[in-house]
């Protein structure tokens, strides 16, 4: 067992472990590894299908009374959670780094994101889900309203790369909508998600409402789908297809945020020094292990050489390190498997003619899974990383002549999660953005401006997923819409003594008339 950072101790890990739902004592233990050293720092019980069933039973029982609480009562809990996150931020920063190996500056993104999502839905859930008047079939005579009821129990299968953000923020929306929640965090980073769950209970969340199981997706995935009324998944496109098929078989809703091969487009009027400086964050945040990370940069030919020079200088100035403070710019990859994928992509590209403009090497002297931020030129279609998602600190550069060519190359991927555009002309940037097949587009900034705009939906086109998180969409999806009408005086049908033919003629004249009356169409 490795030495833990100062703010993380065995007592904390043991308390978090007790948040895992288990139905028996005799079971296999899961070792949790610290990427900085490759050493085990904690263990958790591996979940079973029986654990999922029990977790679902407890959450459903708790949800019955929770769904009857007012939005104001629910909001108080999430606003306390918001405040507690900042009170305990150093502790959770240590834990995120311990489990993921990312640098502290990148770990802080998760702190801010979890807090603002909690605040947003605390203040806006009622507005998004309130009963609304809708137009009825007969003006004045038909009173129609749309209202929302929680779906019941929502399942969450979350990834390792952003274990706080993706481990809890979607659940916050589901809980604010009146649902119970069943969470399966990734096996590599469960303690961060458990910390967030524990903090929610400290903030006042009713007992048993949010359940956690830990273990293999191949063992727990199907039992989770069989136990819930809606599934939210963030992860690979391949796994997403399997889960989407399973939810379809059960006829329950799902949202999937999946892979990306995200492009950045640098136009000839861009502020190159600023673009190069910001691109470093866009490409290498969380060591490139980010669904919205930039993996392709398309640069207009007239400014290609200058941008490459500036970008390479910025990249080479980054400091790699394993430290629980802000002294390192870039941290570690999470595992040997991830390191091998990055290494194989770069070696394959170089062997087939790619040129390394910066980086290109593992750094075992810093830790077992460190790899340098890497820039590649002359990448061609026969190279694995040309189309495949690398999910590491590697970006490939391409020239383009016209905007049409840039848009075509950007859209050539099977993915469509995020894109970035750099230009001094905002109107020009918006025109380019409108042609991109991507769920979010940042102009003159990193992914943080789009991700952080949580009143707007976030998700992907094409193979990058189904549905959206954030905004009204991000909470309405966890509800069932119900339409209720009250009919006054005249029924929808012929009154007594009127024939169907005469009634239909009357109805036809009325419908034609309504077409000409503004406000009643």
* Known catalytic membership, residue 314: no
* Known catalytic membership, residue 291: yes
Cβ-in-10-Å burial (0-12, 13-18, 19+) of 410 comes to: buried
- Give, in degrees to the nearest 5, the angle at Cα 339 between 333 and 343: 130
CB 173 within 8 A of CB 475: yes
Q: Which of 33, 254, 283, 291 is catalytic?
A: 291
Helix locations, 233-297, DSSP H: 237-250, 272-284
- The rounded Cα 262 to chain-centroid distance in angstroms is 15
CB 47 within 8 A of CB 227: no
Distance CA 376, CA 352 (A): 12
Distance CA 120, CA 111 (A): 14
Other Cβ atoms within 10 Å of 201 Cβ, number:
16
Cα dihedral value 440, 442, 446, 447, nearest 10: -10
Helix locations, 67-189, DSSP H: 71-87, 89-100, 104-129, 165-176
Residue 466: left if φ>0, alpha if ψ -120 to 50, beta else—which one?
A: beta
DSSP state for residue 324 in the 8-state scheme: S
Distance CA 91, CA 15 (A): 14
Distance CA 148, CA 268 (A): 49
CB 275 within 8 A of CB 307: yes
Q: Which of 257, 295, 314, 372 is catalytic?
A: 257
CB 486 within 8 A of CB 471: no
CB 83 within 8 A of CB 238: no
Residue 485 to residues 138, 143, 249, 302, Cα–Cα distance (Å): 11, 5, 32, 63
Query: What are 296's strand-pairing partners?
Result: 263, 396
What are the catalytic residues?
Answer: 257, 291
């Amino acid at each position: 067992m490795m030495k833990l950072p100062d703010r993380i101790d065995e007592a904390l890990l043991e308390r978090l472990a007790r948040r895992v739902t288990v139905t028996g004592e005799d079971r296999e233990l899961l070792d949790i590894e610290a990427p900085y050293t490759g050493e085990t720092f904690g263990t958790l019980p591996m979940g079973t299908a029986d654990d999922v069933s029990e977790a679902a039973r407890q959450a459903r029982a708790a949800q019955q009374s929770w769904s009857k609480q007012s939005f104001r009562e629910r909001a108080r809990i999430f606003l306390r959670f918001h405040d507690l996150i900042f009170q305990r931020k150093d502790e959770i920063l240590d834990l995120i780094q311990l489990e993921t190996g990312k640098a502290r500056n990148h770990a802080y993104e998760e702190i801010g994101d979890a807090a603002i999502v909690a605040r947003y839905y605390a203040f806006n859930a009622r507005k998004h889900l309130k009963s609304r008047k809708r137009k009825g079939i007969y003006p004045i005579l038909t009173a129609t309203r749309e209202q929302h009821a929680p779906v019941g129990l929502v399942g969450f299968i979350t990834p390792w790369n952003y274990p706080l953000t993706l481990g809890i923020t979607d659940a916050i929306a589901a809980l604010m909508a009146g649902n119970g929640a069943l969470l399966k965090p990734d096996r590599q980073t469960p303690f961060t998600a458990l910390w967030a769950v524990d903090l929610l209970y400290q903030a006042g969340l009713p007992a048993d409402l949010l359940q956690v199981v830990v273990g293999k997706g191949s063992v727990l995935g199907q039992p989770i789908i069989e136990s819930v009324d809606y599934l939210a998944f963030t992860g690979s496109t391949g796994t997403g297809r399997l889960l989407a098929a399973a939810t379809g078989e059960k006829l329950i809703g799902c949202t999937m945020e999946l892979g990306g091969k995200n492009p950045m487009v640098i136009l000839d009027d861009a502020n190159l020094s600023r673009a190069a400086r910001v691109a470093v964050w866009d490409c290498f945040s969380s060591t490139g292990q980010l669904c919205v990370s930039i993996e392709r940069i398309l640069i207009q030919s007239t400014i290609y050489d200058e941008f490459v020079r500036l970008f390479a200088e910025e990249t080479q100035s980054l400091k790699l390190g394993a430290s629980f403070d802000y002294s390192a710019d870039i941290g570690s990859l999470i595992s040997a498997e991830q390191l091998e994928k990055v290494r194989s992509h770069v070696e394959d590209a170089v062997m087939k003619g790619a040129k390394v403009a910066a980086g290109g090497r593992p750094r075992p002297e810093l830790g077992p899974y460190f790899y340098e931020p890497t820039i590649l030129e002359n990448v061609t279609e026969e190279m694995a990383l040309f189309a495949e998602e690398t999910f590491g600190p590697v970006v490939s550069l391409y020239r383009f002549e016209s905007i049409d060519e840039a848009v075509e190359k950007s859209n050539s991927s099977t993915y469509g999660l995020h894109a970035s555009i750099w230009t001094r002309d905002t109107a020009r940037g918006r025109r380019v953005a409108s042609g991109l097949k991507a769920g979010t587009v940042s102009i003159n900034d990193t992914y943080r401006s789009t991700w952080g705009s949580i009143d707007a939906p976030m998700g992907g086109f094409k193979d990058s997923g189904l549905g959206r998180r954030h905004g009204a969409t991000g909470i309405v999806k966890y509800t069932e819409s119900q339409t209720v009408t009250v009919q006054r005086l005249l029924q929808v049908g012929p009154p007594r003594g009127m024939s169907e033919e005469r009634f239909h003629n009357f109805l036809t004249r009325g419908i034609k008339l309504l077409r000409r009356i503004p406000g009643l169409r």
